[in-house]
Structures are given as structure tokens and as C-alpha cells.
Chains A and B, each alone.
Chain A
Amino acid sequence: MYKLLICNSTLSDKLFDPGCLHTSFGIRKEKKDHYTNVPRNANLEKLPKGYLFPEISLRQHQHLEQHPDASLISLGIGDTTEPVPDIVTSRMADFASGLSTLEGYRGYGAEQGNKELRKAIAETFYKDVNVKDSEVFVSDGAQCDIARLQLLLGSRVTASVQDPSFPAGDLDHETGRYHRLEYMKCGPENKFFPDLRRTSSTDVIFFCSPNNPTGHAATRQQLEQLVKFAKDNGSIIVFDSAYATYISDDSPRSIFEIPGAKEVAVEISSFSKFAGFTGVRLGWTVVPSELCFSNGFPVIHDFNRVVCTCFNGASNIAQAGGLACLSSEGVRTRVNYYKENAEILLDALASLNIKAYGGQNAPYVWVHFPGMNSWEVFDMILEKANIITVPGCGFGPGGEEFLRISAFGHRESILEAARRLKALFS
């Protein structure tokens, strides 16, 4: 029998449990093991052993073993920390209690999501760009939607991703998922927007704005270029706008603000980072009815079919919460809180003459350490300041020399982190 230690890949500083952080699977083959005759999926076989957040967990664990009294501040994984406003949770609680009553009981919901909620999403986020309720698909989160999109598109498609970006870290490890994976370098030198003249055409272009990890919100002009590029090449943009509510300036909040985008793009978003729903699980994807495959078949049909076959809808309690979020102003306060956190971190870094990007349109600060290896910087900051960050290389080769510091955290933690950084680098 193989003995396994299954790794918990999610790091939560509140639920930190050293017992579950082993990333290595201890495998010991014993006699009389039965092997099935089922071949392992070749695509999954290509995945390398370690990946980003488990590796961070491991280093965190090792650090704590050596310094058991260290007061760690986690600005690593982008997990929200502030409580959800009452007005939202009380509606969720009422809905949950209502499930115990005849009038309030609800069974299966539509796989595409609750009607009211789809309408509210269309009206809140897409009012001026004419997205219809029927084009909004409620989900249990962006990560899940991306997987459903991949299922839909199949394994023959080619894809490009920003480098660095959140998918790049995982997609790099899942090259088998895509026939070919292109990296579009985004850095200070090109205003965090790829040089499309040097970019080869792929079927799918993943684009996240405001960007995780760089914090850059693409300008209208940049997005117009992107849409034109997609149109010229017949590509589909998968636009991740999960951080749109963090935008401070007049950068587009949705790809559909760009004329012509409906024919080339789907947009994915999430309640996670503006409603604190990282555990509650709620998001959405917009698939315009105009978006067609090369044979003219509407993508929305196939997406709908995948949603109906491979999914059974987001939790109705989460959806009740989503509806409450969109009908109340209360949720903005959390976004502002995290943005203030980001400002504190930016100020601290500026005072140290350390070049930092992002932080103004996203809850991430992207810090440049020229000439340094990002894992080394990570280690140094962990060792000397007891702060967990994320090494930029985890988001793709374009992230080397950078560190992502996330602005989620209680104000005191952020202030303390700023103090420690100042002490460390001055």
C-alpha cells in the first residue's frame, strides 16, 4: 500500500495548521499492490511536483519550526480577511432559515443561476454595455468557470497568457491542457501590456485586468488594441475582471466597454474579492450571444450545455448573498479598506525608494527587486521580517525579480508589515 500525505494547497493564515503542509508525498511501494490497467492521463502526468502555494506553505512551515515564536504576517495568498457586511449575511441567514419552511424551501435552481441575480449582475456591472441577463451565468467562482471553459473549448485549442499572471503559474504546469501555450510578457518596460506585433496568434487569449499579480489596469487604448488583435486573428479573449471594483481611475471595468468586444470576448468575474466571498463561493461569466465559433455556432450554446451537464448551479445561499451585495452599498466599504491597505504598503515602499507597481487599481502591490531571484527575496523577507509574500516567478518567468504583496489583511497587520519593511530596508 502506498502511504500518502495529501497536501492542502490553500494557505490560510487563520487556519494555519503545520500538520497539513507537507508537499511531498511519501510513497512506499509494498508487495501485493494492485495496479489497475487504467493509464494515467498524460496531461496530468506533465505537471511538475511542486507548485506555488504549497511551496510557500512548506517554507512558512519550516520557518515556524525554526522560529516558533515568530509573529507571522501573511501578505501571500490573496485571501480576504474582513467580515462581510451585516446587511449581506443577514439576508443569507434569512434565506438559509427560510429553507426550513414550506414557502421558503428551494430545491434545484437553474444551472445558469437565479434569475434575479443574473439580472442584478447585468444591471450593476454591464448597464451601459447592453449585456443581457441571459448572457450571464452565475458560478461558484472564477477558477471553476475557467475549468468549465477549458472543457468547453477542448484540448486542441492554443492559448496565450500574460506573463506574469495568475493562470500562467498553473497553466505552465498544465501545458498538456493546451496544444500550445504562449506567454505575453507584461512588465514596466511595456507598460504591462504585451507588444501585440510580436505576439503570435492563438485561439484563446487569457487577459486579466486589473491584473493579478501586477495590479495594472489596462487602459482603454490598450484594450482597444487587444480587441482588434483578437478580431484580426479570430481569437477569443477570456477576460478576467475579478478586481474591477478596485479601479480608482477611469480604466475600463469591463472588456465590453470596448466596441466589438462582444464578438471576441467572454468575461469572468467573482464576488470573492469585493464581497469577501472567498469561502462562500460565487462568481459569474458573461458569454455574449454574438460570440461564435468558426462554423458560426454560438459559444453560449456550448457553454450552457457544459454548465447543465458538468455543474448544478452555485449554492442558493451564496446567490442570496450575492443579490444582497448588489442591492446594498455596504460592500464598497471593504474594497476601500483593502485599497487603503494597499496605499499604506505603497507609501512604505516609496519611502524606501523601492520601485513598486500596482496597488492603485488592485489589492496587489508588485515590487521590483532588480537583479534578485524572487524566491531569494521571498526567503529574505520571511526570515528577517516574518512576512509571507509571493515570489513573482510563481506567476510565470516574467515575474522573476518581482514580489507580490497582497493588501488583504487587518489594518494592524498591514501597518505592522509596513513598519517591518521600513526597518528591514532602510
Chain B
Amino acid sequence: MPLHQFHFNASISSSSSPFLAPPSAFNSFSSRHQNFSLPPRDLGICRCVATPQEAKTPTAYKTNVSRNANMGKLQAGYLFPEVARRRNAHKEKYPDAQVISLGIGDTTEPIPDVITSSMSKKCQALSTLEGYSGYGAEQGEKSLRAAIRSTFYADLGIDDDDIFVSDGAKCDISRLQVVFGSNVTMAVQDPSYPAYVDSSVIMGQTGQFQTDVEKYANIEYMNCTPENGFFPDLSKSPRTDIIFFCSPNNPTGAAATREQLTRLVQFAKDNGSIIVYDSAYALYMSDDNPRSIFEIPGAREVAIETSSFSKYAGFTGVRLGWTVVPKELLFSDGFPVARDFNRVVCTCFNGASTVAQAGGLACLSPEGLKAMHEVIGFYKGNTEIIMDTFNSLGFKVYGGRNAPYVWVHFPGRSSWDVFAEILEKTHVVTTPGSGFGPGGEGFVRVSAFGHRGNVLEACKRFRQLYK
């Protein structure tokens, strides 16, 4: 049954919508391999279109199950599959072009041997009597939890069992939303990683999308701009139950200072809020900012921290991350949040792959840490090249120093238009800022993951386009 030809909501115009969904909405799934082009395939999945008003064939059988109204609130597909869809369409249009992806933040460099060899060994061990293991603890292997604690949270009052190993931050964010339920209010930075808002919509925490302001009702969007140093004015922020905060920030690259985080923790304390602190890029920091929210006194009573091996170890496909829920974090009735998180982890999850966890342990060995830092250093080198390029072209450039993202300002222009222009004229994929929220309008995110040759080539093309 064909899934195309939905009726589009005519009020979403292409120039203002954060999630443009052109009519040819068939999408081959996003295989985000950077180094070969996908043959276009119609796999019968329509992924990023506005809500259809009616089924194509009215006589087709329908169940009596109402569609979850929350799903209906989502405007279109998740941001990155949409970027991938555009990239694939572009490749189809220009089959000979060498398309360079600096869009989706996907790692490209091989994983150091010390890490993959441990995963390889774990796979082989599964074929032996002594080495075979079945179900692991849903919270993760003890040794890995201990290694995460000692590597990232030493002397911060965090225990091994405050740490929950996962298959990645994106998944943890949704599990946290399941913990919080639909009756909580949420604040996000604007712009921010789309999973916070989208998962909130799915969970039923929000109202409808308001096309005039491009925000969902009932979410507090804390504007982060160059003018306020990418830190929200807390004095103007109303109280919400949950505050998502990402530092170093995706997409702006801003890293909050100790002073700023102290204010954030105080704000959360005064308001009885819970901070969900996303520190997935902490090791990219050049400046001397806190790597963990728990460096701030009092944070254990107000914050959860989530992180990932994705951008440190190139584990974007291997899938491994963690979330810290301190014992001191309590709901309004005194019930520990960690208990509910544990319950959700035990019922909605069955643990990260034991092979990935073996890799994680190797990552945190002295040799593994050293190797990870080298790869991170490589990507930081890419970031510098990109920053220098845009700086030399006279653009206002942000981020880059503390994160693998460069946040480039195109004042007065629609970010999807700039995205399209860059793609069309240089065959380089970026990510339009408005995909991260209305606060991202007028910006484009250039990610620094890529082979050095590709990054240099992309920058060469930028220089030609914008000279």
C-alpha cells in the first residue's frame, strides 16, 4: 500500500518551518555512512512528512485504536533523518558529486585497536563454555560502572551504583521521560538537541506546536544566543519541573562556566527542579570549565547527568552510554528518583550489549583513554580548520573550542535556505540551526567529524562560495 500523497498542512511554509517536508517524501532509511553514496531506494517508508489528513484509500481496513494524539503533535520527522533525506536526494540529483557530510554529527575515524580488540575477544569468548554470558544486569556490568565512576566522577560523591550503563544518551533521554511521566513541565535551551523536545512531545508533556513562534506549547524555551553568552537569563525563566541542559552544547558548542553552572544549580534548588545535564561532549573541552555538573556543590540533589561513548570512542554504531542518578535526588514526596529510574531500566530495557560494554571497559583503561584522547584531538583539529575558514571569510563563528561543532551565524537568513544553498553549491551537508529550535534560526551547524581530507576540501569549497 503506497504511503505517499498525504495532504500537507498548507500553513507550514517552506521558508519558515523548522522541519521542511517536501512532497516527494519517500525516504530510504538514513544509512549515515559517510564514505559511499546510497543508491536511491524506495523502501516504502514515508518518514518526514506532515500529518496526513486522511488515508489514501478510504475503504482500507482501519483498527479502532486511536492514534496517540501526542504523536500527532510532532511536526515532521526527526531532524537528522530529514537532513539525511535531503543529502540522499542531492546525491541522486548529482550522482558524480563528491558530497561531504558535515551535517549529522557522525564519527568517522576508526576506533583504536585497544578498544576493538577487547570487543573482538568478547565475541570470541561467547563461543566458549567459560566465556559465555547470557543476560547481564540491566544497570550494566559492575566493572564498567566502577570504571565510569573512577574515570569521570572521582571525588564527586558519586557511587558505582548511581551509574546506569545504557545503549546511548538518546535512549536514556526517553527512559528519563518515561520516569517523569506526562505531568511534568520542561525547559530546554533554545537551540538544543532535538531529542529533548521530541521525546517530551511524545510523552505528552507539551501542548500543540505553535507555528507562529515555532515552539510547542507548555515547554519553556530558554533562549541561548551570542548576546547572552549562550547561557539563559535565569531571572526571566519561569519555574519548570525539569531543565534539560547540555554543556558543551550541541549545537552551539558553548561550554558553561563554573559560575554559570553554580547559578543553574542554585536556580534548580530554589525552584525544586531537576536538571538533566547532558555532558556527552565534555572531553572536547579546551577551556577549564566543569566536565560534570557534579563538580558544582549541591548538584547531587538537583541533577541527573547523561553521557555517551559515541563521540569519545566512535561508538555511534556500537551503542554505549550512561546516566548518573544520585541517591540524593528526590521527588517532592521524598521518593528517590534513582529507584524509579531503576524500575524503568529493568522493565523497558535489558541492558547494553555485553560486547559494547567490554569495549567500554577497554576505553577506560589507561591505554584506551590515551587512544580516545588522540581521536578527540583529531576531531578538534578539524574543528579549528572549520572555525578558521569561516572566521577568515568574515563570518561570526561560535563554538568549536569546547565541542566538535561550529555554529556559524548567517544573520537575517533562513537556516534551511542556507543549508540548501551550501548543499547545492558546495555539495557539503550541514545542519540548519532552526532544526534545533527557533533560537537556531539564522545559524548553521557545521560538525567537525570527518576525514581530514574531506574537511579540508569542504573548507576549500566554503571559501570559494563565500569569498
Contact = CB atoms under 8 A, between A and B. Distances in A.
B460 interface: no
B137 A10 contact: yes
A96 B317 CA distance: 11
Q: How large is the interface on A (under 10, 10 to 19, 20 to 34, 35 or more residues)?
A: 35 or more
B61 interface: yes
A107 B30 contact: no
Interface stretch (B39-47, B245-253, B378-386, B414-422): B39-47
Nearest to A54: B346
A107 B108 contact: yes
B75 to A, nearest CB: 11
Given A89-B126, A97-B120, A174 B60 contact: no
A85 B127 contact: yes
Interface in B268-313: 268-269, 271-274, 298, 301-302
B123 A93 contact: yes
A107 B183 contact: no
B81 interface: yes
A7, A12, A107, most chain B CB atoms within 10 A? A107
B355 A317 contact: yes
A144 B183 contact: no
Contacts of B146: none
A380 interface: no
Contacts of A20: 137, 142
Nearest to B57: A296
A318 B353 contact: yes
B124 A10 contact: no
A2, A77, A81, A86, most chain B CB atoms within 10 A? A2
A25 B81 CA distance: 43
Describe B's contact surface by its main secondary structure: loop
Contacts of B31: 109-110, 115
Contact of A293 (B3, B63, B80): B63
Contacts of B171: 310-312
Given A147-B347, A310-B170, A36 B353 contact: no
A141 B347 CA distance: 12
A151 B352 CA distance: 20
Describe A's contact surface by its main secondary structure: loop
Interface residues of B, number: 134
B167 A140 contact: yes
B188 interface: no
A96 B124 CA distance: 11
Contacts of A10: 135-138, 346, 351
Interface string B317-338: 1110000000111111111101
Contacts of A85: 127
A272 B355 CA distance: 14
Interface stretch (A217-225, A277-285, A367-375): A277-285
Nearest to B167: A140
Given A41-B179, A99-B116, A204-B65, A152 B71 contact: yes
Given A110-B31, A279-B135, A289 B120 contact: no
Contacts of B406: none
Contacts of A203: 64-66
Interface in A203-220: 203-204
A31 to B, nearest CB: 13
Contact of B332 (A36, A106, A134, A146): A36
Given A84-B126, A99-B318, 13 more contacts: A1-B327, A6-B139, A25-B339, A35-B333, A84-B132, A86-B127, A93-B120, A109-B32, A135-B44, A141-B350, A156-B66, A296-B58, A296-B60
Interface of B: 1, 3, 29-34, 43-47, 51-52, 54-55, 58, 60-72, 74, 77-78, 80-81, 104, 106-113, 115-117, 119-121, 123-124, 126-129, 131-139, 142, 161, 167-168, 170-171, 173-174, 178-184, 194-195, 198-199, 202-204, 239, 241-242, 268-269, 271-274, 298, 301-302, 314, 316-319, 327-336, 338-340, 342-344, 346-356, 359, 449
Interface of A: 1-4, 6-10, 12, 14-15, 20, 25, 27, 29, 33-45, 47, 77, 79-86, 88-90, 92-94, 96-97, 99-102, 104-112, 115, 132-135, 140-141, 143-144, 146-147, 151-157, 170, 174, 203-204, 230-231, 233-236, 263-264, 276, 278-281, 289-298, 300-302, 304-306, 308-318, 321
5 contacts: A36-B330, A80-B134, A83-B131, A314-B353, A318-B353
